[in-house]
Chains A and B, each alone.
Chain A
Amino acid sequence: MKSSTRQVDGVTIVDLSGRITLGEGSVVLRETVRDLLSKGQKKILLNLGDVNYIDSSGIGELVSAFTTAKNQGGELKLLNLTKKVHDLLQITKLYTVFDVKDDEAAGVKSFSK
């Protein structure tokens, strides 16, 4: 999995691509989010538009990222879910737990100032 970050109006957008799975993307996601939080970048928008596969380990890593950010006074939201990821979050009942956006500009604006 590949990960890159960019700043838009005080929000860190993390563009992820590839698979978030055990032994692959899970570690990348974990380290990326931890690194951002340690640098005080606590408004995080995970762009999953190019994430084409996620397994239970990846789901667990998304949950961990969400709770870690929240516990540190931050906010982590999801952007541009693919159908596969959307369906997985639906059947695991996590779709209502995460704040999911489908428009980047609206997603950025949704963070508290």
Chain B
Amino acid sequence: MSADRVSYTLDSTLETVNNAEETASRMAAEAGFDDEEIMKISMAVREAAINAVLHGNAYDPSKKVTLAFERTARDLVIVIRDQGKGLDASRIPDPLAPDNLLKTSGRGIFLIRSFMDVVEIHPSHTGTELRMIKHVHGNPADSKEAPQ
């Protein structure tokens, strides 16, 4: 089965955050996810884009964000990379800990992990790659072509 892949190179701007969310929503719809799953996927991508633009690239106009979608028969795979210093996810405090509940930030990675089936964070000195997967439940493309 061939895979559908598409990737974008984006500026480190708020517009990129909104574009990433909208693109994710469209890709998730095309992959056959229902409305609730589409919302989760698009929100996970929005949070990942916020991390990349704000915390990774720090709005630096010389740094780019790359966003890639790959659809296979079983998964929607989304990879977002920045050119920042590298995110050490182990140093992010647990946002559900009682002492952290009233903090005004630090929930992005938690939400991504809540909404996606697989989340991998690969930091390096040249930036962070965040890879997330949502499993496709059923294949609407196949079912459309199935004999009645």
Contact = CB atoms under 8 A, between A and B. Distances in A.
Most chain A C-beta atoms within 10 Å of own C-beta, residue among B96, B103, B107, B108: B107
Nearest to A55: B46
A22 B17 contact: yes
B14 interface: yes
B95 interface: yes
A40 interface: no
Given A63-B102, A63-B103, A64-B104, A92 B110 contact: yes
A110 B49 CA distance: 40
B105 interface: yes
Contacts of B47: 55-56
B92 to A, nearest CB: 12
A91 B50 contact: no
Contacts of B17: 22-23
A8 interface: no
B111 interface: yes
A84 interface: yes
Given A22-B17, A56-B47, A93 B96 contact: yes
Question: Interface majority SS on B: helix, strand, loop or mixed?
Answer: helix
Interface in B1-56: 14, 17, 39, 43, 46-47, 50, 54
A67 interface: yes
Question: Interface majority SS on A: helix, strand, loop or mixed?
Answer: helix
B39 A97 contact: no
A107 to B, nearest CB: 22
Nearest to A65: B104
Most chain A C-beta atoms within 10 Å of own C-beta, residue among B47, B102, B108, B110: B102
Contacts of A66: 102
A97 B102 CA distance: 8
Contacts of A22: 14, 17, 50, 54
B114 interface: yes
A41 interface: no
Interface of B: 14, 17, 39, 43, 46-47, 50, 54, 95-96, 101-105, 107-108, 110-111, 114
6 contacts: A22-B14, A22-B54, A56-B107, A60-B107, A91-B111, A93-B96
Given A60-B103, A92-B107, 16 more contacts: A21-B46, A22-B50, A23-B14, A23-B17, A55-B47, A56-B50, A56-B111, A57-B50, A60-B105, A63-B102, A63-B104, A84-B39, A92-B95, A92-B96, A92-B111, A97-B101
